[in-house]
Amino acid sequence: MIAIVDCGMGNLRSVHKAFEQVGHPATITQDPDAIRGAQAVVLPGQGAFRDCIAHLGQHELLEPVIEFIRSGRPYLGICLGLQLLLTESEEFGCHKGMNVIQGRVCRFPAGMSDHAGSPLKVPHMGWNQASFVRRPPIFEGIPDGAFFYFAHSYVVEPINEDVVATTTEYGMSFVSGIWHEQLFGVQFHPEKSQRHGLRLLKNFGELGR
């Protein structure tokens, strides 16, 4: 069973339905034991970093998630669920993350523009491409440069570039996917990304079988 961690925010139902659609049973949970005993764990999230990390701590979910990741079983962080993996975030001050991946979460720089010089809005919302630095197994059958749906104002900056799987261009090149062994994180929302997003979730679900 895939455990979808209820962190108090994010499109939990959309993620759950997407896994069901591709044939992988999943459950939304705040039960630490369910997380520890899962075959795979997904942490989706939208909203503020500090609020999500506080919610996980208050519901005694933070340590079970970290323990699960250290066990080597498949983990997928979606959007905020990716950002929480890092050491700290500068969103609304400095807030500590899980420190599974060393690095920082930083806001897009002010005054970004596209190649034509037109100003770009933050948050970055809409469809954009993910280009491979390395091809993780969850991207099996997905072409380089495939489009996914993004909705975020902050980006991850890992210290170790070896964990970078995909990058995306939006006024700058930013990390849109990470991969280390069975640990995966994506800045975009696969549950909102139609066929490529569903394929990614299907591939992830097969890792936990």
Question: Residue 117's pLDDT band (boundaries 50, 70, 90)?
Answer: confident
**Predicted confidence (pLDDT) at residue 88 exceeds the cutoff of 90:** yes
CB 83 within 8 A of CB 49: yes
Half-sphere exposure of 109 (CA within 13 A, CB side): 9
**Predicted confidence (pLDDT) at residue 55 exceeds the cutoff of 80:** yes
Question: Residue 46's pLDDT band (boundaries 50, 70, 90)?
Answer: confident
Question: pTM of this prediction?
Answer: 0.95
Helices marked H in the chain — which ranges? Answer: 12-21, 32-36, 49-58, 62-70, 80-83, 194-207
In the prediction, which pLDDT does 93 show?
86
Average pLDDT for the chain? 94
189 catalytically annotated: yes
Other CB atoms closer than 10 Å to residue 198's CB: what's the count?
Answer: 16
- Mapped onto helix, strand or coil, the DSSP state of residue 28 is strand
- pLDDT tens for each residue of 34-45: 999 999 999 998
* Stronger pLDDT, 209 or 77, i.e. the higher one: 77
Q: Give me the CATH number covering residue 98.
A: 3.40.50.880
Active-site option among 55, 95, 189, 196: 189
79 catalytically annotated: yes
CB 112 within 8 A of CB 89: no
Pull the structure tokens for residue 7.
């962190």
**Predicted confidence (pLDDT) at residue 99 exceeds the cutoff of 90:** yes
In the prediction, which pLDDT does 2 show?
97
Half-sphere exposure of 126 (CA within 13 A, CB side): 7
- Which residue range forms the structural domain that includes residue 196? 2-207
Question: Residue 115's pLDDT band (boundaries 50, 70, 90)?
Answer: confident
Angle (CA) 165 145 39, round 5°: 45
Question: Residue 106's pLDDT band (boundaries 50, 70, 90)?
Answer: very high
Active-site option among 7, 152, 191, 196: 191
Active-site option among 24, 79, 88, 95: 79
Q: How would you classify residue 93: left for phi > 0, otherwise alpha for psi between -120 and 50, otherwise beta?
A: left
- Mapped onto helix, strand or coil, the DSSP state of residue 96 is strand
Report the domain count for the chain. Answer: 1
**Predicted confidence (pLDDT) at residue 98 exceeds the cutoff of 90:** yes
In the prediction, which pLDDT does 44 show?
93
**Predicted confidence (pLDDT) at residue 26 exceeds the cutoff of 90:** yes
- pLDDT tens for each residue of 129-174: 999 999 999 999 999 999 999 999 999 999 999 999 999 999 999 9
Q: Computed from CA positions of residues 63, 48, 126, 29, in that sequence, does the dihedral angle turn out positive or negative?
A: positive
